[in-house]
Structure 1
Amino acid sequence: MDWLFNFPFTISVDTNAIDNAVRGFAASHSAFFDGIKSGLTGFVGAINWILGYIPWFVLIALVFFLGWKGHKSLRSGITYAALLCVIGMLGLWDLMNLTLSIVLAGVIIALVLGLPVGVLLSGSDRANRTARPLLDMMQTMPVFVYLIPAVIFFGMGSASAVIATVIYAMVPVIRLTSLGIRQVNAEVVEAARSFGSTKLQMLLKVQMPQALPTIMAGINQTMMMAMSMVVTCSMIGARGLGNEVLIAVNRVEISRGFMAGGSVVILAILLDRLTQGWFSNRKESGDE
């Protein structure tokens, strides 16, 4: 009766041949990938250098100001500043800067690549239908899978972490940029066209401003997904709070894990709330 429950046909896939082909491609183009690795490592290092030279009290004051102005609430500013102080009091300030460097580098690259792609997809139904399965795959693929090609092509370290973060986090900004532009009122677009606007003028002066709330929501989601990769990327040599969590897991140190994990949560909350507050202000300013 096993034939009722066991699938009767299987396909023999030569996984060794595929793996060897990918490794061979990486080896034959090592100079190209090493150049990208050097550029990404330098980019992360530059962001970390900038963060490292910002005095701690200046960064806390900046978070307080953004929280106060973004949410128009003094209590919000004080709360966010106090949360950032918690990370410092736990002795994880430098690790927070390392984590923030990788996240910011990944988000910047994801936006530079994702925003233009979203704009292009918004102008073509065929391109949108073609890209949808690829975007679905990028968004639903287990995040650990992205680490394998990143390590093969770029080795261990922050460069691989940025590449994996970009691939995983880029999808929301592409989807929501395309969606936001598509949802712009057709009458507004037609009015702009009737006044002689070119496609570029219509995009920059009509469609993008109208779609800005949706686009900003995509940027916020991209940032959150980049933060979610912090601990995962520690498995391929990314330093920072994620690596501290990984060490705690390997050594079964619950206190160390909770302190580092809690710091990741605090950093994610701050990035989410501060960007949401800024986006809300921009939306209100646009409405006025």
Structure 2
Amino acid sequence: MTEFLELLRQLLIDPFGLLEALPVRQWITDAVNWIVGNFRDFFRTYVSPPVRGVMGFTQTTLGGIPPGLFLIGIFLIGWRAASWRVGLFSLIAFALVGFMGVWDALVVTLSLVATAVLFCMIIGLPLGILCSRSDRFANAMRPILDIMQTTPPFVYLVPAVMLFSIGNVPGLIATIIFAMPPMIRLTNLGIRQVRQEYIEAAVAFGSTPRQILWKVQFPLAMPTIMAGLNQTIMLALSMVVIAAIIGAGGLGLEVYAGLERLNIGQAFVGGIGIVLLAMVLDRITQGLGDKGPGQDRKQAP
């Protein structure tokens, strides 16, 4: 009885001291080393080229546009997506970034974000649709999305560098993984929130499941899907800045270089450029969501 009480006392005072610590660090290290050793060639052969190709094409296209035409284009995009006020704000914001001397870095950052968001949409939209079609698949995806969304961004950088080396590609891969969950979650949520009577009406008129999805559910879910796109863009922008540590470049590199050299002016210029870019992208995507057909449904009596 005395030995039992002593054991109970030790459990209450120091329960972790009775057992050896689980070697979780070693398990994770061994798992990552196994993946790198067995799949590095696969990732560099089949994953890296399309990401690098899209990134190169986007950066070449955006970089080849004269700054004056670029400003006119961003004004027109903001005007058509939201309002003339958003268009004017976008023009002024981008012009201010150019006058601060970081226009090229802005183009690189915008290219990185656009590439990452494109892959997030290509992968995330189908997964979100599958989640809305199957509760079992949605339940299986939920813990995976939780891990993807809550893992600290810096954790993604180590395996990305081990698989793809230094440069834009590992930064983009880490950004895609980190920014994709809102696209999947809100696509699933938007489709599930479509009223049943709309679906029943489409069935009554002889629509196939595919027609119901693309002509009824998807348009009505567009505001929610656009909210997911908005969050994906914001997360991609934040991750692209962090990915500058491993050579992603852009405005994040300005911030990182300013921090490394203790140059507060350089760091603040990069930070202001990131803030202005984030505000422009946020206003434009919000405007697109507000003008979607699903928004008209929400405002209808």
TM over 0.5: yes
Say yes or no: does 1:242 pair with 2:252.
Answer: yes
**In the alignment, which of 225, 241, 248 is matched to residue 231 of structure 1?**
241
Scaled by the length of structure 2, what TM-score is found?
Answer: 0.88
Q: C-alpha deviations, 1:211-260, integer Å up to 9, x for none?
A: 11111111111111101112210111111111111111111111110001
Q: Matched residue of 1:247: which SS?
A: helix
**Are the aligned partners of 2:223 and 2:294 in contact in 1 as well (CA < 8 Å)?**
no
**In the alignment, which of 64, 69, 73 is matched to residue 62 of structure 1?**
73
Q: Matched residue of 2:180: which SS?
A: helix
Say yes or no: does 1:178 pair with 2:202.
Answer: no
Structure 1 partner of 2:57? 46
Structure 1 partner of 2:5? none
Q: What pairs up with 1:185-196 in 2 under 5 angstroms?
A: 185-196=195-206
Say yes or no: does 1:72 pair with 2:83.
Answer: yes
Q: What pairs up with 1:143-154 in 2 under 5 angstroms?
A: 143-154=153-164
Provide the C-alpha distance between the structure 2 equivalents of 1:285 and 1:274, rounded to a whole number of angstroms.
16
**Are the aligned partners of 2:128 and 2:187 in contact in 1 as well (CA < 8 Å)?**
yes
What's the offset of the Cα at 1:21?
A: 4.9
Say yes or no: does 1:110 pair with 2:115.
Answer: no
Say yes or no: does 1:254 pair with 2:264.
Answer: yes
Structure 1 partner of 2:6? none
Structure 2 partner of 1:160? 170
Bigger drift between 212-221 and 123-132 goes to: 123-132
What's the offset of the Cα at 1:17?
A: 6.2
Provide the C-alpha distance between the structure 2 equivalents of 1:206 and 1:128, rounded to a whole number of angstroms.
21
Q: Output the amino acid matched with 1:7.
A: F
Q: Output the amino acid matched with 2:167.
A: G
**Inter-CA distance 76–215: structure 2 relative to 1 (3 Å threshold):** closer
- The alignment's C-alpha RMSD in Å is 2.1
Q: Which has the larger radius of gyration?
A: 2
Shift >6 Å, 4+ stretches: none
Q: Matched residue of 1:139: which SS?
A: helix
Q: Matched residue of 2:166: which SS?
A: coil
**Are the aligned partners of 2:51 and 2:169 in contact in 1 as well (CA < 8 Å)?**
yes
**Are the aligned partners of 2:289 and 2:295 in contact in 1 as well (CA < 8 Å)?**
no
**In the alignment, which of 8, 12, 16 is matched to residue 7 of structure 1?**
16
Bigger drift between 129-138 and 26-35 goes to: 26-35
**Inter-CA distance 206–275: structure 2 relative to 1 (3 Å threshold):** same
Q: Output the amino acid matched with 2:183.
A: V
Q: Matched residue of 1:60: which SS?
A: helix
Scaled by the length of structure 1, what TM-score is found?
Answer: 0.92
Q: Output the amino acid matched with 1:145.
A: V
Provide the C-alpha distance between the structure 2 equivalents of 1:20 and 1:4, rounded to a whole number of angstroms.
33
Question: How many residue pairs align between the two structures?
Answer: 287
Structure 1 partner of 2:283? 273
Q: Matched residue of 2:221: which SS?
A: helix
Q: C-alpha deviations, 1:123-164, integer Å up to 9, x for none?
A: 111221221111111111111111121111111111111111
Unaligned runs of 5+ in 2: 1-8
Provide the C-alpha distance between the structure 2 equivalents of 1:12 and 1:48, rounded to a whole number of angstroms.
46
Structure 1 partner of 2:3? none
Provide the C-alpha distance between the structure 1 equivalents of 2:223 and 2:32, rounded to a whole number of angstroms.
41
What's the offset of the Cα at 1:72?
A: 2.8
